[in-house]
């Protein structure tokens, strides 16, 4: 407790110094906070609304969320309706006209990448359908490469004084990212075609990038327990085409994958980082993909 109070005091002492930072950035998810830090460095003070342990669809209202939203110069979110349950109401309460959607103060990452699983026709009966496609775009590092230049450009636009520095940082980041992409491609070559089961349909972009073969889903609709016929069907499918691993995000309940791994001998249960901060290795965007690939390779014989 004393330690906690001391660290709180320490943070309070630092605040006036940090106030010199030029940009106050509100990031909806950890991956965009990490990207802003890469691209803006000391120029930005980043506040991240959700952690890797939280489902970004839902969020509890804390006073600091509204306070940060009120003072933000830039809001960086995934978009594609991922935050539809809380961002609009938070923006309404924040009352900050500078970061409304459509202004320069609002950056939607999903606008810069090709979306997967965009429904052909909109039908409520289809169930859990995102009309703009699957919003979990951060799991393909090529998407990060697409988003970074646009985000850097936006930073330069709202903070023109430091534009040259943002350009330099983007160049540096892009170079490191390209070489990491090459390294990951070699490392993950053996993962191509690896059959997996997913907890929920949040892995489409990772699957596409690495060529993983998604055989089934444990929980087809979020928050709704799977029916016994769905589970029986899944077990039947797994008999015909055995999967190597069942993967889930840190915020997803492990019970369903535990059940499945007991039913199917040899099936490895993996808790993937899913975003920055999702495990001890995923401290930044590079660590996120290093760790994801290492965990998946660990499930191979």
Quote the least distance from Cβ 213 to other proteins, whole Å: 26
- What whole-number distance in Å separates Cα of residue 56 and Cα of residue 274? 11
- Sign of the torsion formed by the C-alpha atoms of 77, 78, 84 and 85: negative
Confirm if 115 and 81 have CB atoms less than 8 A apart: no
- Sign of the torsion formed by the C-alpha atoms of 227, 138, 28 and 75: negative
Q: Which of 5/240 has CB closer to other proteins?
A: 5
Quote the least distance from Cβ 80 to other proteins, whole Å: 16
Quote the least distance from Cβ 128 to other proteins, whole Å: 5
Q: Which of 124/239 has CB closer to other proteins?
A: 124
Q: Which of 125/280 has CB closer to other proteins?
A: 125
Quote the least distance from Cβ 60 to other proteins, whole Å: 4
Contacts of 292 (CB under 8 A, 6+ apart): 139, 206, 272, 273, 282
- Pick from 112, 115, 116, 96: which is nearest to 25 by CA? 96
Q: Which of 85/254 has CB closer to other proteins?
A: 85
- What whole-number distance in Å separates Cα of residue 298 and Cα of residue 301? 8
Quote the least distance from Cβ 223 to other proteins, whole Å: 6
Q: Which of 57/146 has CB closer to other proteins?
A: 57
Applying CB under 8 A, which residues contact other proteins?
8, 12, 58, 60-68, 70, 85-86, 89-90, 92-93, 95, 124-125, 127-128, 221-225, 227
């Amino acid at each position: 407790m004393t330690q906690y109070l001391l660290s709180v005091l320490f943070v309070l002492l630092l605040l006036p110094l940090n106030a010199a930072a030029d940009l106050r950035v509100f990031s909806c998810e950890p991956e965009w906070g990490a990207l802003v830090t890469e691209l803006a460095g000391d120029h930005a003070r980043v506040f991240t609304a959700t952690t890797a342990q939280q489902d970004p669809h839902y969020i509890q209202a804390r006073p600091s969320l509204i306070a940060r939203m009120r003072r933000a110069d830039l809001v960086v979110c995934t978009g594609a309706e991922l935050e539809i349950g809380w961002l609009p109401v938070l923006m309404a309460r924040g009352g900050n006209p500078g970061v409304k959607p459509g202004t320069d103060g609002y950056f939607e990452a999903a606008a810069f990448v090709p979306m997967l699983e965009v429904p052909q026709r909109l039908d409520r009966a289809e169930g859990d359908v995102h009309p703009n496609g699957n919003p979990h775009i951060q799991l393909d590092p090529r998407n990060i490469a697409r988003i970074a230049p646009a985000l850097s450009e936006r930073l330069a636009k709202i903070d023109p004084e430091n534009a040259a520095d943002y350009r330099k940082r983007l160049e540096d980041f892009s170079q490191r990212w390209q070489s990491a992409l090459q390294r990951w491609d070699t490392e993950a070559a053996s993962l191509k075609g690896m059959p997996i089961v997913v907890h929920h349909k949040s892995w489409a972009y990772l699957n596409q990038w690495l060529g993983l073969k998604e055989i089934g889903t444990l929980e087809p609709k979020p928050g709704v327990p799977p029916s016994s016929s769905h589970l029986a069907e899944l077990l039947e499918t797994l008999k015909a085409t055995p999967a190597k691993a069942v993967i889930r995000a840190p915020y997803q309940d492990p019970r369903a994958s535990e059940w499945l791994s007991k039913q199917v001998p040899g099936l490895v249960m993996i808790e993937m980082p899913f975003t920055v901060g999702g495990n001890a290795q995923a401290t930044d965007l590079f660590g996120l993909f290093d760790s994801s690939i290492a965990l998946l390779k660990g499930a191979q014989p």
